């Protein structure tokens, strides 16, 4: 408390020079953060931050983590910074910032935003490999061509582990390791309290940190909630099917959409069954390079693509059109946006780090015979993930890792009504264990909604006042889904 008060007093005296900022023992200087698939950069302040790779052997290898600070708009910033915890697992906070900057802009008026790339991602000893990249079941899924066999998986991952051996041991890149990195950062900053903003997988990091270090947390914002008790991958197939049913029900209620597409859910599975019998080959132009690319669409690949389209309201509005075309044998429209819909996800995810997390925390609890086998996403990815984890060195999880969060900390959970991976019921589950929690659902929206509509304003109100029960969320009623495309010109007028 005394250190936090001293930190506040330091900020209140005068603004430091524009090119330097001292907080606790850390010295921040001006820097430029790279942006994914872009030559643009983000102006920030960076500080060196080094931690032991293996905390059980503190005298062994140490790794550098990329730490950046987006300064508050005021010279008298509040003493409790906002901390962005990125999704994935495998995304880096500094690389995710451009996508959430507008959503957190209201909070920046009075608070700094801290971006710490989780170990194994971005600029924090990234677990990536040249040529063949390991690929856990991720936000993006995989190319539409079927799963590799066990021998190929073992060969690719073995080569990757060999490449990493000189600078990283994948066993020490779990959520629990990242939680202790975050606590080390807090201590280096002078023992401040964090306002944690977790996005998707980042909500797991936030909850695990809140459990281990509750004194370090002032507030929790969880967007696209992953309950502690959830085994990543176990319910992906059911979550997607539920989101699609909900979204397609809107088409059933709209006369023009119903007349154009009929029973979309039935058509979806009819296409899947056709692809199971015989994959369809197609050549489409890459939307970035305009070069023709040959694809072979399988049932597994079809499920992956549908999942990608379902992530946002805008892309899910295209689903009836591309599914209808696929039902007539034309898969080119479905594949046409593969690079656009999935490319940025793929570039943002570090596969090795994702494997280190999921293999340590979830894979042994996955059942290849799960009920999702008959869903559109299928269960092939579960079998592939278990095969990958058999070949990937990984650590272990604490005994209480999957215990539900019980907390007195102020908590605000955000969900999209048609989220295909973290449905609203997950938000309800976590808020049920919070004495001072509130769950807001963005109508018609998909995965990650913190930047939608009035939510940035509501998040700011929550962080400033810490009174979730008093938030007037009436503005959420103004939100809704993007209208379905009835043809290539868009929705009906």
Give the DSSP letter string of 127-196.
---SSS----S-SS---SS-PPPHHHHHHHHHHHHHHHTTT--GGG-SHHHHHHHHHHHHHHTTSPPEEE
For tokens 């401040």, what's the residue?
A: 192
Task: State percent of the chain over pLDDT 70.
Answer: 89
Task: Determine how β-strand 194-199 pairs with β-strand 217-223.
Answer: parallel
Instruction: Determine the pLDDT at residue 488.
Output: 84
Calpha distance 203→207 (Å, rounded): 6
Give me the pLDDT at residue 38, please.
Answer: 76
- Using DSSP bridges, classify how beta strands 62-64 and 50-52 pair: parallel, antiparallel or unpaired: antiparallel
CA 76, CA 443: separation in Å to the nearest integer? 37
Q: What is the pLDDT of residue 39?
A: 79
Q: What are the residues whose beta carbons fall under 8 Å from the beta carbon of 59, sequence distance 6 or more?
A: none
**The pLDDT value given to residue 134:** 52
pLDDT at position 343, please?
A: 59
Q: In this structure, what are the phi and psi dihedrals at residue 190, rounded to the nearest 5 degrees? A: 105, 20
Q: Are 308 and 472 a contacting pair, CB within 8 Å?
A: no
What pairs with residue 30 in β-bridges? 45
29: how many CB neighbours lie within 10 A of its CB?
12
3-state secondary structure of 209: helix
Structure tokens at 195: 């306002």
The owner of tokens 């629990």 is 176
Q: Considering only 212-216, 412-416, 481-485, which range has the smallest mean pLDDT?
A: 481-485
- Which of 41, 7, 35, 4 lies closest to 21 in space, CA to CA? 7
Q: In whole angstroms, what is the distance from residue 25 CA to residue 138 CA?
A: 36
Domain boundaries in the chain?
A: 2-130+164-232+400-478
Q: How far apart are CA 139 and CA 128, in angstroms?
A: 17
- The stretch 361-372 carries a mean pLDDT of 81
Determine phi and psi for 457, rounding to 5 degrees.
-65, -40
d(CA 326, CA 271): 7
Q: What SS3 class is residue 30? A: strand
Closest by alpha carbon to 221, among 396, 440, 489, 482? 440
Q: Please check whether residue 66 is in contact with residue 126, taking contact to mean a CB–CB distance below 8 angstroms.
A: no
Q: Which two tokens stand for residue 115?
A: 């971006």
The pLDDT of residue 334 is: 86
Confidence class for position 490, pLDDT limits 50, 70, 90: confident
Q: How many CA atoms lie within 13 A of 96 on its CB side?
A: 33
Cα 124 to chain centroid distance, Å, stands at 17
Preceding peptide of 89 cis, ω within 30°: yes
Return the ∠ at Cα 249 (arms to 248 and 254), rounded to 5°: 95
Instruction: Give me the helix-helix angle, 455-465 and 93-108, nearest 10°.
Output: 70
Question: What is d(CA 308, CA 138) in angstroms, rounded to the nearest whole number?
Answer: 11
Per-chain mean pLDDT for the chain: 89
Please state the rounded mean pLDDT for residues 293-315: 90
Phi, psi of 128 (to 5 degrees): -120, 160
CATH homologous superfamily for 2-130+164-232+400-478? Alpha/Beta hydrolase fold, catalytic domain (3.40.50.1820)
CA dihedral 185, 190, 192, 194 (to 10 degrees): -10
Range of weakest confidence among 81-95, 283-297, 458-472: 283-297
Of 478, 474, 471, give the one whose Cα is nearest residue 452: 478
Token pair, residue 294, equals 């040959």
Closest to 81 in 3D by CA, of 92, 98, 60, 67: 67
CA-based torsion, 227, 232, 234, 235: positive or negative: positive
pLDDT score of 481 more than 50: yes
Strand-pair category, 194-199 with 113-116? unpaired
Closest CA relative to residue 208, chosen from 316, 92, 311, 118:
118
Backbone angles phi, psi at 424, to 5 degrees: -55, -30
Helices (H), 213-263: 236-253, 255-261
Residue 435, H or E segment? strand 434-442
Average pLDDT over residues 261-270: 96
Highest mean pLDDT among 18-22, 72-76, 212-216: 212-216
Residue 143 has pLDDT above 50, yes or no: no
Give me the residues paired with residue 487 across strands. 490
pLDDT per position as a tens digit, 19-42: 789 999 999 999 999 888 777 889
- Torsion, Cα 10 13 14 20, to 10 degrees, reads -10
């Amino acid at each position: 408390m005394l250190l936090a008060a001293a930190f506040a007093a330091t900020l209140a005296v005068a603004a430091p020079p524009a090119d330097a900022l001292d907080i606790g023992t850390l010295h921040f200087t001006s820097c430029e953060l790279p942006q994914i698939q872009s030559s643009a950069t983000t102006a920030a302040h960076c500080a060196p931050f080094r931690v032991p790779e293996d905390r059980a052997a503190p005298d062994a290898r140490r790794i550098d983590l990329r730490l950046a600070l987006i300064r508050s708009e005021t010279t008298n910033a509040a003493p409790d910074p906002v901390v962005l915890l990125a999704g994935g697992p495998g995304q880096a906070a500094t690389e995710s910032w451009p996508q959430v900057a507008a959503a957190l802009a209201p909070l920046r008026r009075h608070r700094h935003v801290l971006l710490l790339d989780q170990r194994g991602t971005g600029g924090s000893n990234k677990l990536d490999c040249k040529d063949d990249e390991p690929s856990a079941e991720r936000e993006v899924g995989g190319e539409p061509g079927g799963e590799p066999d066990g021998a190929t998986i073992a060969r690719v991952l073995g080569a990757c582990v060999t490449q990493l051996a000189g600078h990283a041991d994948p066993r020490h890149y779990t959520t629990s390791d990242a939680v202790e990195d975050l606590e080390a950062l807090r201590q280096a900053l002078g023992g401040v309290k964090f306002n944690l903003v977790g996005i998707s997988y980042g909500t797991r990091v936030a909850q695990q940190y809140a459990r281990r270090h509750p004194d370090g947390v002032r507030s929790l914002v969880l967007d696209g909630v992953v309950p502690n008790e959830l085994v990543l991958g176990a319910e992906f197939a059911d979550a997607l099917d539920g989101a699609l049913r909900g979204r397609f029900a809107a088409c059933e209620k709209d006369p023009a959409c119903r007349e154009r597409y009929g029973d979309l859910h039935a058509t979806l599975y009819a296409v899947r069954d056709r692809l199971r019998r015989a994959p369809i080959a197609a050549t489409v132009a890459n939307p970035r390079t305009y070069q023709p690319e040959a694809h072979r669409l399988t049932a597994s690949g079809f499920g992956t693509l549908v999942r990608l389209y379902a992530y946002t309201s805008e892309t899910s509005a295209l689903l009836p059109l591309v599914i209808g075309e696929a039902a007539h044998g034309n898969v080119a429209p479905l594949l046409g946006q593969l690079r656009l819909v999935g490319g940025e996800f793929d570039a943002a995810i570090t596969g090795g780090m994702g494997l280190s997390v999921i293999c340590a925390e979830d894979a042994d609890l996955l059942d290849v015979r799960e009920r999702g086998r008959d869903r559109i996403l299928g269960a092939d990815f579960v079998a592939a993930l278990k095969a990958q984890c058999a070949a990937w060195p990984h650590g272990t999880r604490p005994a209480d890792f999957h215990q539900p969060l019980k907390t007195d900390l102020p908590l605000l959970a955000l969900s999209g009504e048609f989220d295909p991976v973290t449905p609203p019921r997950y938000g309800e589950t976590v808020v049920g264990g919070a004495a001072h929690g509130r769950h807001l659902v963005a109508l018609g929206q998909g995965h990650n909604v913190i930047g939608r509509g009035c939510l940035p304003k509501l998040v700011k109100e929550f962080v400033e006042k810490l009174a979730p029960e008093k938030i007037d969320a009436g503005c959420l009623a103004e939100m809704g889904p993007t209208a379905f495309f009835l043809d290539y010109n868009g929705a009906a007028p």
